[in-house]
Structure 1
Amino acid sequence: MTSEPNTVSNPWRALWALCLGFFMILVDSTIVSVAMPDIMESLNADINAAIWVTSAYLLAYVVPLLITGRLGDRFGPKRVYLVGLVVFTLSSLWCGMTTSVEALIIARVIQGVGAASMTPQTMAVITRIFPPDRRGAAMGMWGAVAGVATLVGPILGGVLVDAFGWEWIFFINIPVGVIALVMAIWLVPSLETHPHRFDWFGVVLSAGGMFLLVYGIQQAHGAGWGPLIGPVTVPFVIAGGVVVLIGFVLWQKVNRSEVLVPLSLFKDRNFTLAAIAMTTVGFGVTSMAFPIMLWAQTVLGYSPTQSALLLAPMAILSGVLAPFVGRLVDHGDPRVLAGIGLGAFSIALFWLGSILDVHTSLWAVIPPVLLLGVANGFMWSPISSTATRNLPLHHAGAGSGVYNTVRQVGAVLGSAAISAAMESRLAANIGSSSGAVGGAEAGTGPAADVAGGTSTEMPEAVASGFAHAMGQSLWVPAGLIVIGFVAVLFFERPKPRVRG
């Protein structure tokens, strides 16, 4: 076995095999939201239980990422990827066969663990089998998969639910998982492992801290920042997570044995800046679709599938641009390329936020959606390639784990922030136009009705307030992405890659 990139005769075949599994994971992160009403009706579940169908998956996905990235270094990324793929595929079958919401939540936890095992290995393998002068194009393909999958999930979910029922959003993973497994066994090379000693105390601290932080953020909106369990409040849980994670970092610093996350990763200026930028990307990508989908379905009366198709120009343009941008990354300036992507992302969201209304036409939406396609095409590859270019080979898994963890933490923050922003703007806009501020805050009245999709014929003033609330909420991710834009402007031109 070997870890040298130039010994892999055709790394592109391995990349295609890995991208299929990666695509399946990302689609599954968004496909469930479309099926949620049918799941609630079929399993007789209330809204709190339904929320946990998504939250449990996200928790199980985010928390182990640092650990699974390191496992790839120790046992080989191919082995860990294959184990995760088998777990993910079998748990998908379990999800589709459940007859209670409690069983579905448990199955989703196992599914999230499988996804967490797979995700860091995709970047780690790319880092190890592609030489530096070809890695940008490979990351371009990886980025195209990430961008397109965010759209395919809602569209595919709508089609499957309408045609076959909610179970098929999980059953569809079984044939895809089997094909991905065969391709990975056949095409992905077995790379050299590194005999790491596992930092078990670091594992406990990182998992515990991530769990408290992510769980607190997830529950903040529903609990109103109040009590969660007895006297334990949301701020206390989040603060506890932060304290434990600080303890984890200090342990990584003082531990004289081998650590779980080498802090030397952050001595690389580009890795640190890329991690900051990718946190804002995760925030924006996760939060942007929900207000647009609610506006299209509630105000325009579109079906879930029709609503998701509004973003089709974004996916098409992103898929076309990403491989082209990936080739530019190998020889161009990542500051310019990533800056174009993040700048376009922020401008597009500000643009959409300013035009959403009752009478907004499809033609008015297409230009900013196309700009979102430019953003997705330009930002993934330059950021990812710049982050990993200088990492030594024996830290590829650890670096990939950190990178994917910050992306998913950004996604959790985005999900929580956009919910709070929508509620705040609904209370302000609909309350001021319909005298329903109190009803919105109490979970009753026009604001609550339209937010839950229960109002079929809204007065135009209420519909206008709802549309404006959805648009204004998009300004939250638009503003945060500016931080990522500033971060990538300070990228250094990647140095020749360090072997290790």
Structure 2
Amino acid sequence: MRKWIPLAAICLGAFMLLVDVSIVNVALPKMSTDLNSSFTSLQWVVDIYALTLAALLMALGSLGDRLGHRRLYLGGLVVFGLASLTCALAPDAATLIASRAAQGIGGAAMMTSTTALLNGAYQGRDRGTAFGVWGAVNGAASAVGPVLGGLLTDQFGWRSIFMVNVPVAVLAVAMTLGYLKGGANAARGRLDLPGAASFTLFAGALTYGLIESGDKGWGSTTVLGSIGVGLLALVVFVLAELRAGRTGQPLLDLGLLRNRTFLGLTLAGLLLTAAAFAQLTYTGLWLQQVLDLSPLDAGLAVCPLALAAFVVALISAKAFHRMAPQLPIGIGLLLIGTGTLLLALVSAGSSWTVLLPGLLLTGVGVGMSTPLMMSTALAAVPRERAGMASGALNTARQLGYALGIAVLGTIFQDRVRALTPHLAGKPDLHVPFAGGLDRIFLVAGCAGLVAGLLVLALVRRTPPPAWAAAADGAPADRPVQAVKA
């Protein structure tokens, strides 16, 4: 029916931008061979996309409130489509990394607009249906990403994983122009440029320093300088937000962080993505470079995590609706930590099946913890700050993924380097790779356990109201201001 075409246009964009978070993981070995790229370059191909998303979400959400979310969404689709084309045509790793950054800009514009557009396009029961479909598409994107990436890479080469975005983006633009109405601009006042610039510099400099530490070492001037610049930018960001809070409209009201529930969930969101998903990049390298699995088989090997999360999320929406929200969220995070620790059973003689119990348990934890996380955070803040709160939580989750890849990559490189025998010829990779994975699984697992304990200790025992629950896909008759950012 015509009334669902706006939903289809929004879901196409959401599916593309979320698939591209994970679709490249199984294509990394083929990219490395074709472009003759280093391990650090491989990290950047994955990380620059998530980093750009994290750095720009809050700023573009605020910009969308002023320019209109339909206009911002269209711009994001165009940028994302063109960037995907340049990724597909990239002659070297530097071009590919730059194009992935441009993809992240387009993806951030789309991500910050989708829920606001859904909120404006549908009312009453239709709104609940639309958010439910949108949530299912988001979950499916995580499950499909590794398998779709493997299938396309096997059949058509790694460049096809980016080229496929181009016709999808064109279709989404046509549907948006024809059927998606623009809403009135509600926000006035200046964009918080000092806050946006300092936060972007903080995230970029810190991640750059962490990634480069794997090659250059922690004592490198480049590494120490980058991390120092990042920390200085964080101080500037805090000062800018304190000033904007008194005189204008801050990018982030720092007073929200005095709320124990919101602070606990924001920290948990950051640790969740680092614990559950960042390690999959290096797991994929082990599956292909050591076990000699094809890209498709490697994608299928890690798919149980996303499938378990998808199934449990569908069940938990009703099963945990009446529970105090910190219980399913906190217990789910503890399961993520435990499942990731189980992955550390990998050894030099292991096959891919050693991952299965840990991946399934981690997926169950993801399915339990994520459905209620956003609505619980929004219920903890004043309704007029709900858009800002949702943007901050989404930013924390993307930043956790970016920083997780950087930190785990450094740990992985150091461990592999230490265990690689200094012998003539090509050394056996089974022992050093297994040792590297063992170390990052331990670190990621501990991050998940810490996240669970934070939620159980800080989140209050109040269920989210109906208007906030709509942010997770539940129906609501009142307008959902919560998801504008």
Q: TM-score range by the shorter chain?
A: 0.7 to 0.9
Match of 1:271 among 259, 262, 265: 262
Report the Cα offset of residue 415 of structure 1. Answer: 0.7
Q: Which shifted more, 212-221 or 36-45?
A: 36-45
The answer to whether the 8 A contact 2:35-2:93 is kept is: yes
1:3-22 to structure 2, matched below 5 A, reads 17-22=9-14
The answer to whether the 8 A contact 2:335-2:361 is kept is: yes
Report the Cα offset of residue 48 of structure 1. Answer: 5.2
Residue 93 in structure 1 maps to residue 82 in structure 2? no
Report the Cα offset of residue 67 of structure 1. Answer: 0.7
Q: How many residues align?
A: 463
Letter of the 1:491 counterpart: V
Match of 1:491 among 447, 450, 459: 459
Classify 1:419/1:56 alpha carbon distance in 2 versus 1 (closer, same or farther; 3 Å): closer
1:241-390 to structure 2, matched below 5 A, reads 241-255=230-244, 256-328=247-319, 330-360=321-351, 362=353, 364-390=354-380
Residue 120 in structure 1 maps to residue 112 in structure 2? yes
Residue aligning to 1:407: 397
1:191-210 to structure 2, matched below 5 A, reads 191-197=183-189, 198-210=191-203
Residue aligning to 2:23: 31
Q: What CA distance in whole angstroms lies between the structure 2 residues aligned with 1:91 and 1:306? A: 28
CA deviations over 1:209-257 (Å, ceiling 9, x no partner)? 3332232233222321243xxxx43123212212222222122113312
Residue 398 in structure 1 maps to residue 388 in structure 2? yes
SS of the residue corresponding to residue 23 of structure 2 reads helix
The answer to whether the 8 A contact 1:14-1:184 is kept is: yes
CA deviations over 1:381-401 (Å, ceiling 9, x no partner)? 111221223555654443333
> What is the TM-score with the length of structure 1 in the denominator?
0.80
Q: What CA distance in whole angstroms lies between the structure 2 residues aligned with 1:340 and 1:142? A: 25
Q: What CA distance in whole angstroms lies between the structure 2 residues aligned with 1:101 and 1:291? A: 18
1:60-75 to structure 2, matched below 5 A, reads 60-75=52-67
Report the Cα offset of residue 25 of structure 1. Answer: 1.3
Report the Cα offset of residue 14 of structure 1. Answer: 5.7
Residue aligning to 1:421: 411
Report the Cα offset of residue 352 of structure 1. Answer: 1.8
Report the Cα offset of residue 359 of structure 1. Answer: 4.2
CA deviations over 1:184-218 (Å, ceiling 9, x no partner)? 45665644432332223333322333332232233
CA root-mean-square deviation: 3.5
Q: What CA distance in whole angstroms lies between the structure 2 residues aligned with 1:471 and 1:29? A: 24
Letter of the 1:260 counterpart: L
CA deviations over 1:159-201 (Å, ceiling 9, x no partner)? 2122112221111111222333345456656444323322233
Classify 1:62/1:273 alpha carbon distance in 2 versus 1 (closer, same or farther; 3 Å): same
Residue aligning to 2:473: none
Residue 217 in structure 1 maps to residue 210 in structure 2? yes
Letter of the 1:481 counterpart: G
Match of 1:479 among 433, 436, 446: 446
Residue aligning to 1:163: 155
SS of the residue corresponding to residue 310 of structure 1 reads helix
CA deviations over 1:404-428 (Å, ceiling 9, x no partner)? 2211221122112222332344355
Letter of the 2:260 counterpart: R
Classify 1:425/1:206 alpha carbon distance in 2 versus 1 (closer, same or farther; 3 Å): closer
5+ unaligned residues in a row in structure 1: which ranges?
1-8, 440-444
Letter of the 2:207 counterpart: V
The answer to whether the 8 A contact 2:276-2:448 is kept is: no
Q: What CA distance in whole angstroms lies between the structure 1 residues aligned with 2:85 and 2:289? A: 33
Report the Cα offset of residue 305 of structure 1. Answer: 1.7
Match of 1:177 among 149, 169, 173: 169
Q: What CA distance in whole angstroms lies between the structure 1 residues aligned with 2:153 and 2:250? A: 45
Q: What CA distance in whole angstroms lies between the structure 1 residues aligned with 2:289 and 2:128? A: 41
Q: What CA distance in whole angstroms lies between the structure 2 residues aligned with 1:378 and 1:88? A: 31
Residue aligning to 2:476: none
Q: What CA distance in whole angstroms lies between the structure 2 residues aligned with 1:126 and 1:483? A: 34
> What is the TM-score with the length of structure 2 in the denominator?
0.83
Classify 1:104/1:223 alpha carbon distance in 2 versus 1 (closer, same or farther; 3 Å): same
Residue 237 in structure 1 maps to residue 229 in structure 2? no
Report the Cα offset of residue 483 of structure 1. Answer: 1.8
Q: What CA distance in whole angstroms lies between the structure 2 residues aligned with 1:479 and 1:395? A: 32
Letter of the 1:473 counterpart: I
Letter of the 2:223 counterpart: V
Identity %: 33
Classify 1:113/1:424 alpha carbon distance in 2 versus 1 (closer, same or farther; 3 Å): same
Letter of the 2:441 counterpart: L
Q: What CA distance in whole angstroms lies between the structure 2 residues aligned with 1:247 and 1:205? A: 6
Report the Cα offset of residue 468 of structure 1. Answer: 4.3
Classify 1:348/1:53 alpha carbon distance in 2 versus 1 (closer, same or farther; 3 Å): closer
SS of the residue corresponding to residue 287 of structure 1 reads coil
